[in-house]
Chain A
Amino acid sequence: MEENYDVVVVGAGHAGCEAALAASRMGFKTVIFAINLDSIAMMPCNPNVGGTSKGHLVREIDALGGEMGKNIDKTYIQTRMLNTSKGPAVYSLRAQADKAKYHTEMKKTLENQENLDIIQGEIIDIFVEDGRVCGVKSESGIIYKCRAVVLCMGTYLKARCLYGDTIIQSGPNGLRQATELSKCLKELGITIFRFKTGTPARVDKNSIDFSKMKEQKGDDTIVPFSFENNSKDIEREQVSCYLTYTNEETHRIIRENLDRSPLYSGVIDGVGPRYCPSIEDKVVRFADKDRHQIFVEPEGEDTNEMYIQGMSSSLPADVQIAMYRTLPGLENCKIMRHAYAIEYDCIDATQLKLSLEFKNIKGLFSAGQFNGTSGYEEAAAQGIIAGINAALSLKGREPLIIDRSEGYIGVLIDDIVTKGSKEPYRMMTSRAEYRLLLRQDNADLRLTQKGYEVGLVTKERYDAFIEKKEKIEKEIKRIKKVSFGPTEEVNSLLEKNDSMPIDNGMKLTDLIKRTELTYDLLKDIDKERPELSDDIREQVNIQVKYEGYIERQMNQVEQFKKAEAKKIPENIDYSEVKGLRIEARQKLEKIRPVSIGHASRIAGISPADISMLMFHLNY
């Protein structure tokens, strides 16, 4: 039996959902497969979306016309803006999700999407003809002919979960693993890595004494993830998280049972992420720390399960319960799901182009945790790009590539396809060179245009965006001309805000630049000021207040763009480049960078190698 589609998406996690929605919304007949439809947009680990740099990703996905921001806005149960004292570029929006609702809402969106079919089942084979993908086969024997495939298998491939000495051949959260595709991919010449990650236990809320923990409430002001939502429209009752700590007793139990941890007994050979260490890792590596923070977070409104953040572990179940019960508030806790480590197959992402298409197979794209990343947001970010590019390739258009100066998505993808990763890759603000420009508040200004051009952003939304942009520019232009004399009104306002009174005339923009002042605080003396919305006023304030820093960063971007503009022809023969070291040649052959700038980011390529390359290309 045969079916025909334009695009096949394998896997319906956070990457798969975005990929399938993008492709179908761009007009292509798309089908998405999940091993179990109850696992669509499942959150098998932490019950939240966003956080530092991840929140940026969600807003960028939204600006491009993706779904993650809207879905979390529908299903959040607590929201906070983090880092508000550390600078506007690192403000980070984070929301606790109702996991079940998050899944249901996303599933609903997929179900109601035109051009999109949803099918439960494992894909066991991929067909490639003349270097071009042409179909997939499901375990039920049906062949789905197609012109593009997006692989979003997450952590399912050849997965096994480890609970101490107990090893279960299963995917995350007890779901069935996918076993067949690894072999098929290897036959297609794709290099497979083995990575590892883990998740903590879920504990019954009724068994926890919250009075011994510190409560953490949500923010009073709700900031939506989606630029299309208003805070008022999504306001709702919020639930709390709680903070507690490990202690010497916890650490003693862990140390005494280390030999039973597969991590330390050598059973696990997958590479785990440093930023997601198990509790046994923390205790061993930071032996002098006498306590570690543990956050207790609700998994949803309709469940008693609480996620114990900071206690991921691969120790056996009996050790888990003993060590969890040493924590204040958890003395009588009942574990509902045990912590486990999971090992899985993923690909070496350096085999992908910046478009997330495989270099050696046309029409085959890959996104998400299967590319060696971690995190829902990282997955979704790749998913939407892979989906968009699968669709663009079918239209015969150039792929959408967001560069490092345009978005965290660009940093993420450039990093994984250029540098490769030896551990699951997590987005961090530290990875973005130009983060002052890549703020979460201006993701729409950076990317809505691109979303509109590929066809994911509606005309209506685009028009509203243009209007916002113009209003910001107009207001900045206006206030640059405003200045004040040292009048009583001006100086009393300054004094009221603990700001030095002025003796001579001063520009409004210079006052805004003062640390203690903002655009809004100076409203009363700025007589001609028009009524503007919150988001516009925020932009005006940030762009004026940090003008000097922003300009400097823009100069850096200019330098960056120069190197990016020096293109390397696709058919370059590196054996003809004089003076290249052998290892440099091998690396360049493998990564096949698109520009001089891109080449310079490959690990192990020296400035001298770049000089040789530039000479060869007459730059």
Chain B
Amino acid sequence: MGIKINSDDTIAAISTAMGTGGIGIIRISGNDAFKIADKIFKNKKGNIHDLKSHTINYGHITYNDEIIDEVLVSVMKSPNTYTKEDVIEINCHGGIKSTEKVLECVLKSGARMAEPGEFTKRAFLNGRIDLSQAEAVIDIINSKNDMAHKAAVSRLDGKLSRKVKKCRENILLMLAHIEAAIDYPEHDDEMMTYDMIEKGCYDLKEEINRLLDTADTGKIIREGINTVIIGRPNVGKSSLLNYLIDEERAIVTDIPGTTRDIIKEYININGITLNIIDTAGIRETEDTIEKMGVEKSKNYAKDAELIFMMIDGSKELSDEDRKILESVRDKKKIIIVNKCDLEKKADIREIENYTDKKYIVEMSVKEDIGTEKLYEIIKEMFFAGKIFGNDDIFISSERNKQSLLKAVKYIDNVMETVENKMPEDFISMDLTEAYSALGEITGESLEEDIIDKIFSEFCLGK
């Protein structure tokens, strides 16, 4: 069990996506939430403790007599709060920098930085929400863009549940047939033939695989695409990064130590998040990045899901370009031939040896040429060009994906058993497992299901 409860301490975090809009909300939860807020919040009405619960109060955050931001503070007394603990929410108006500053004050005044999802964890531990709701909420929190949000919300709505339930219903029907035949050997109802079971399994597997196909999409939607920009010095890597950052309206910068250990830039393009890995600080100094040679490129490229390989189109392909291209031959990549506003000297046909033509884009970062095409290519690469509507289901949790994979494995076992003409009993064993695996997603177990099904489907008994 990984649950750690420190009910004594008070946690705080920025609870809005950073940078989206002007308002940042800092949430504080725990026994000392009011005490901590009192230390830094100044208003005309006096202490937080004297304020009525569930009110919003105007005032200032001050620290060491310095006014940090003009804020609205919501005061919510336990237990009618999200976590069932005392909760303070500070609405800051000053954008990212001042929101971060206010958080810093809160932390210095005695709160602990919340772990991702910890508010929800507390809500769950304090009995406010159940496990499946908690997971969906955590997915919403962790989702970094609209599409991810949509996937998490639709899971809350139970779209995935409905699909999975349908699969389970089909398995249950097969099981009921087999089990009824086993428990009532003399019964004369028409029972399922092996052909019917085989067909049933085949259909099931198709359906589950369809769900699984959305799993990777789900992950990408939720977590973004780990992207790295590589290329030899002076091809325009940092310009591209800066361009993307400027283009993007919602940059999310991780607060060090709060989530992951690697610092990334989250860039949201048309609803797709690129996590551009700051390869030793692309932006820090041109020097560092320009020192990045073939070896380093390889290293960074190793874990990337998408590589922007940049080439200076105004120069002929160099041996170094070729070496870098060679080093990422098997990776998912887009080759960006930069500086296309200048005279083209690079041989595009040679570059085509390294990737499919459609993944090569001629660009000029400086003149804003080709960037739209870059976005199109990304979309086509990861989402097969599909624009997602409201009805799409994404498997966006690793746990659900694992459960589906397990189900497929058991269905494969069933098909093998059928193929080997093993007796019915062996079919039932794996079908039951597949049924349970799918039940992990919907939170249901076998219990009396099978018995109920048998007696509702068949007229049995002495």
Query: A interface vs B, CB < 8 Å?
Result: 46, 52-53, 82-83, 85-90, 92, 200, 273-277, 282, 285-286, 289, 292-293, 295, 309-310, 312, 419, 428-431, 433, 435-436, 515, 546, 549, 552-553, 578-581, 603, 606-608, 611-612, 614-615, 619
Q: Are A515 and B183 within 8 A (Cβ)?
A: no
Q: Are B185 and A606 within 8 A (Cβ)?
A: no
Query: B interface vs A, CB < 8 Å?
Result: 1, 3, 5, 124-127, 130-131, 179, 181-188, 420-426, 429, 432, 443, 447-448, 450-451, 454-455, 459-462
In the bound assembly, the distance between CA atoms of A82 and B462 in angstroms comes to 16
Contacts of B460 in A (CB 8 A): 275, 277
- Closest-by-CB residue of B relative to A282 is B459
Q: Are A285 and B459 within 8 A (Cβ)?
A: yes
Contacts of A553 in B (CB 8 A): 429
Q: Are A276 and B443 within 8 A (Cβ)?
A: no
Closest CB in chain B relative to A264 CB, distance in Å:
17
Closest CB in chain A relative to B400 CB, distance in Å:
14
* Residues A53 and B1 in contact in the complex (CB < 8 Å), given A87-B424, A289-B459, A293-B188: no
Contacts of B429 in A (CB 8 A): 436, 549, 552-553
Q: Are B1 and A52 within 8 A (Cβ)?
A: no
Contacts of B455 in A (CB 8 A): 274-275
Contacts of B462 in A (CB 8 A): 46, 200, 276, 295, 309-310, 312
Contacts of B451 in A (CB 8 A): 428, 430-431
- Closest-by-CB residue of A relative to B440 is A607
Q: Are B425 and A87 within 8 A (Cβ)?
A: yes
In the bound assembly, the distance between CA atoms of A293 and B461 in angstroms comes to 10
- Closest-by-CB residue of A relative to B450 is A430
Q: Are B126 and A515 within 8 A (Cβ)?
A: no
Q: Are B130 and A606 within 8 A (Cβ)?
A: yes
Task: Provide a sorted-by-A list of 26 A–B residue pairs whose CB atoms are within 8 angstroms.
Answer: A46-B462, A52-B185, A82-B186, A87-B422, A87-B424, A88-B425, A90-B182, A92-B185, A275-B461, A277-B461, A293-B187, A293-B188, A310-B462, A429-B179, A430-B451, A433-B432, A515-B422, A549-B429, A578-B125, A578-B126, A579-B126, A608-B131, A611-B1, A611-B3, A615-B1, A615-B3
In the bound assembly, the distance between CA atoms of A611 and B131 in angstroms comes to 10
Q: Are A429 and B183 within 8 A (Cβ)?
A: yes
Q: Are A430 and B1 within 8 A (Cβ)?
A: no
In the bound assembly, the distance between CA atoms of A427 and B182 in angstroms comes to 13
Contacts of A286 in B (CB 8 A): 459
Contacts of B125 in A (CB 8 A): 578-579, 612
Contacts of A285 in B (CB 8 A): 459
Extra contacts besides A286-B459, A293-B186 (13): CB < 8 Å: A52-B184, A82-B186, A83-B182, A87-B422, A277-B459, A293-B187, A293-B188, A430-B451, A553-B429, A579-B124, A579-B125, A579-B127, A606-B131
Most chain-B CB neighbours within 10 Å: which of A293, A581, A614?
Answer: A293
Contacts of A430 in B (CB 8 A): 179, 182-183, 450-451, 454
Contacts of B425 in A (CB 8 A): 86-90, 435-436
Contacts of B188 in A (CB 8 A): 293
In the bound assembly, the distance between CA atoms of A82 and B184 in angstroms comes to 9
Q: Are A86 and B181 within 8 A (Cβ)?
A: yes
Closest CB in chain A relative to B356 CB, distance in Å:
43
In the bound assembly, the distance between CA atoms of A428 and B182 in angstroms comes to 9
- Closest-by-CB residue of A relative to B122 is A579
In the bound assembly, the distance between CA atoms of A614 and B420 in angstroms comes to 42
Q: Are B423 and A87 within 8 A (Cβ)?
A: yes
Contacts of B448 in A (CB 8 A): 419, 603
Leading 3 A-B pairs by shortest Cβ distance: A87-B425, A87-B423, A608-B131
* Residues A615 and B5 in contact in the complex (CB < 8 Å), given A86-B425, A293-B187, A515-B421: yes
Closest CB in chain B relative to A294 CB, distance in Å:
10
In the bound assembly, the distance between CA atoms of A297 and B357 in angstroms comes to 80
- Closest-by-CB residue of A relative to B188 is A293
In the bound assembly, the distance between CA atoms of A218 and B374 in angstroms comes to 78
Closest CB in chain A relative to B168 CB, distance in Å:
16
Partner of B127, one of A282, A309, A580: A580
Closest CB in chain B relative to A387 CB, distance in Å:
28
Contacts of A546 in B (CB 8 A): 426
* Residues A515 and B5 in contact in the complex (CB < 8 Å), given A82-B186, A274-B455, A581-B127: no
- Closest-by-CB residue of A relative to B453 is A430
Contacts of B421 in A (CB 8 A): 515
Q: Are B185 and A82 within 8 A (Cβ)?
A: yes
Closest CB in chain A relative to B167 CB, distance in Å:
20
Q: Are B423 and A85 within 8 A (Cβ)?
A: yes
In the bound assembly, the distance between CA atoms of A525 and B448 in angstroms comes to 48
Contacts of B184 in A (CB 8 A): 52
* Residues A608 and B459 in contact in the complex (CB < 8 Å), given A86-B424, A515-B422: no
Contacts of A433 in B (CB 8 A): 432
Contacts of B424 in A (CB 8 A): 86-87, 90
Contacts of B187 in A (CB 8 A): 293
In the bound assembly, the distance between CA atoms of A289 and B189 in angstroms comes to 9
Q: Are A83 and B461 within 8 A (Cβ)?
A: no
In the bound assembly, the distance between CA atoms of A277 and B187 in angstroms comes to 14
- Closest-by-CB residue of B relative to A52 is B183
Closest CB in chain A relative to B78 CB, distance in Å:
15
Closest CB in chain B relative to A285 CB, distance in Å:
7
In the bound assembly, the distance between CA atoms of A471 and B185 in angstroms comes to 33
Contacts of B126 in A (CB 8 A): 578-579
Closest CB in chain B relative to A573 CB, distance in Å:
17
Closest CB in chain A relative to B461 CB, distance in Å:
5
In the bound assembly, the distance between CA atoms of A237 and B127 in angstroms comes to 67
Closest CB in chain A relative to B37 CB, distance in Å:
26
Q: Are B447 and A606 within 8 A (Cβ)?
A: no
In the bound assembly, the distance between CA atoms of A579 and B420 in angstroms comes to 49
- Closest-by-CB residue of A relative to B134 is A608
Closest CB in chain B relative to A202 CB, distance in Å:
14
In the bound assembly, the distance between CA atoms of A275 and B184 in angstroms comes to 10
Q: Are B461 and A619 within 8 A (Cβ)?
A: no
Q: Are A603 and B130 within 8 A (Cβ)?
A: no
- Closest-by-CB residue of A relative to B427 is A87
Contacts of B1 in A (CB 8 A): 611, 614-615, 619
Q: Are A608 and B3 within 8 A (Cβ)?
A: no
Contacts of A88 in B (CB 8 A): 423, 425
Most chain-B CB neighbours within 10 Å: which of A83, A581, A606, A607?
Answer: A83
Contacts of B183 in A (CB 8 A): 52-53, 428-430
